[in-house]
């Protein structure tokens, strides 16, 4: 049986699977499409509605047959809440999730970090990947209970004292669809996370003094920060990638937060939020990150290292990915690349849609399949990807990079590398496509695909 850690995943066999969470909890499930939103009432499986096509809830056990889910369903998210409504999960034993195959063999177990004041916890999700299904450990909590769940999944929760169908508690919520048949939804970033530790009064005045906009706390970033701080505390060491092999950026991606730029602080020693923020503002590199005007959202958390007594801190800074961001980022990379060609007396490169499709697909693939190479796991090379995207260019070149936080940073890095610089300044190249994806172990993945002839 595999022990999953937050963000970890495992392929699943075919057939009906059982998911069990024993203890003083109510279990529920949300069935969603790729957009992460429920379609209607029948997609919410819980105490008062214990079945849906492909999913049946009996007590502490959920049975899921992916082949029988409704058309278009690609994800089943497993949720737990206290059987006694309103009780913080931190007062109860830590819930443990068990996944069993059709033959009764235990496949996976997941115990998240101990919750605090959260009253609802997303434990895991079963999700489709290609022709198969996988399970991913989550551990994302909501201190605002079902309201937080509604915000992220498009469930309109009735929380009146006497709603239709009976009193509402943690296990008797209902989903209500709008006249269009879609579930009423609130944008994921509309309700910020509560600032229970008083971080924002320490951060935002310093940002204002530097001319940067304020940041708001995002519950998904806070969840990722908490998971990573806890993992570092358990290991007794700092690292972007903790001893469990999961990077802080992967934890962010696992919460569903997609970003166009990201930064982090990983620190041990400070005892209070004031000491932590003071440290960041005193140090040149951390200060630049904390004050960076590109960031609009943050998540901060700390964990005690046990016998060592050290306190481990994780701060994640990010800006969500908006529809226009990829277009603007690609345009900026092309502009900076062409400036370098102009300085070298070369004509500018023209944007090529086919090369752009191939470049974007490669950046996304490096995140999804957790690799960093010009050669993909299936053996495909840059020219193969270009041809598959419809390019007819006779000569192809590719630059890739990971970890850079801006177009300027990535183009500067390429220009400082002789091989990458040679591609940028190759006279025979006439066209270019840019790819960018956030996530994975390095946080950001960039692709320049050149074509000529």
The predicted structure's pLDDT at residue 45: 86
CA distances from 357 to 80, 89, 433 (A): 40, 45, 7
Bridge partners (DSSP) of residue 312 are: 268, 303
d(CA 37, CA 180): 14
The predicted structure's pLDDT at residue 171: 26
The predicted structure's pLDDT at residue 179: 26
Q: Is 297 helix (H, G, I), strand (E, B) or coil?
A: strand
Q: Which two tokens stand for residue 436?
A: 């960018």
- In tens, the pLDDT along 49-71 reads 788 899 998 888 999 999 999 99
d(CA 319, CA 259): 6
Residue stretches of the chain with pLDDT short of 70: 48, 85-86, 143-152, 155-193, 306-308
- In tens, the pLDDT along 314-331 reads 999 999 998 789 999 999
The predicted structure's pLDDT at residue 333: 98
The predicted structure's pLDDT at residue 218: 94
- CB proximity list for 345: less than 8 A, separation 6 or greater: none
């Amino acid at each position: 049986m595999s022990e999953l850690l937050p963000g970890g995943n495992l392929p699943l066999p075919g057939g009906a699977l059982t998911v069990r969470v024993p203890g003083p909890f109510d279990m529920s499930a949300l069935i969603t499409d790729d957009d992460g939103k429920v379609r209607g009432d029948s997609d919410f499986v819980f105490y008062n509605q214990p079945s849906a096509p492909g999913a049946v809830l009996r007590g502490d056990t959920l049975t899921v047959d992916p082949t029988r889910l409704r058309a278009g369903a690609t994800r089943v998210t497993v949720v737990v809440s206290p059987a006694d409504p309103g009780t913080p999960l931190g007062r109860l034993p830590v819930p443990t999730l068990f996944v069993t195959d059709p033959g009764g063999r235990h496949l996976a177990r997941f115990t998240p970090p101990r919750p605090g004041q959260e009253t609802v916890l997303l434990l895991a999700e079963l999700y489709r990947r290609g022709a198969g299904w996988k399970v991913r450990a989550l551990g994302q909590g909501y201190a605002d209970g079902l309201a937080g769940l509604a915000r992220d999944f498009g469930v309109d929760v009735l929380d009146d004292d006497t709603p239709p169908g009976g009193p509402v508690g943690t296990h008797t919520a209902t989903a209500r669809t709008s006249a269009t048949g879609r579930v009423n939804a609130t944008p994921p970033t509309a309700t910020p996370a509560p600032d229970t530790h008083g971080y924002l009064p320490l951060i935002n005045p310093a940002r204002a003094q530097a001319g940067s906009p304020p940041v708001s706390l995002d519950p998904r970033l806070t969840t990722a920060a908490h998971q990573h701080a806890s993992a570092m505390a358990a290991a007794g060491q700092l690292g972007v990638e903790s001893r469990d092999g999961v990077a802080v950026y992967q934890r962010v991606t696992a919460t569903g937060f997609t970003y166009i730029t990201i930064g982090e602080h990983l620190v041990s020693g400070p005892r209070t939020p004031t000491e932590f923020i003071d440290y960041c503002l005193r140090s040149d590199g951390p200060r630049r990150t904390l004050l960076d005007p590109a960031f609009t959202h943050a998540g901060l958390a700390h964990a005690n290292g046990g016998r060592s007594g050290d306190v481990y801190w994780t701060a994640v800074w990010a800006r969500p990915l908006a529809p226009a961001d990829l277009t603007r980022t690609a345009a900026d990379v092309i502009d900076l690349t062409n400036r370098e060609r102009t300085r070298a007396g070369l004509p500018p490169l023209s944007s090529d849609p086919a090369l752009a499709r191939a470049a974007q697909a490669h950046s996304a693939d490096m995140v999804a399949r957790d690799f960093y190479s010009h050669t993909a796991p299936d053996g495909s090379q840059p020219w193969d990807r270009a041809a598959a995207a419809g390019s007819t260019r006779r000569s192809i070149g590719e630059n890739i990079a990971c970890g850079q936080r801006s177009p300027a940073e990535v183009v500067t890095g390429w220009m400082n590398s002789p091989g990458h610089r040679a591609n940028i300044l190759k006279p025979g190249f006439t066209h270019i496509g840019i790819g960018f994806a956030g996530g994975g172990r390095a946080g950001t993945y960039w692709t320049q695909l050149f074509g000529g002839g």
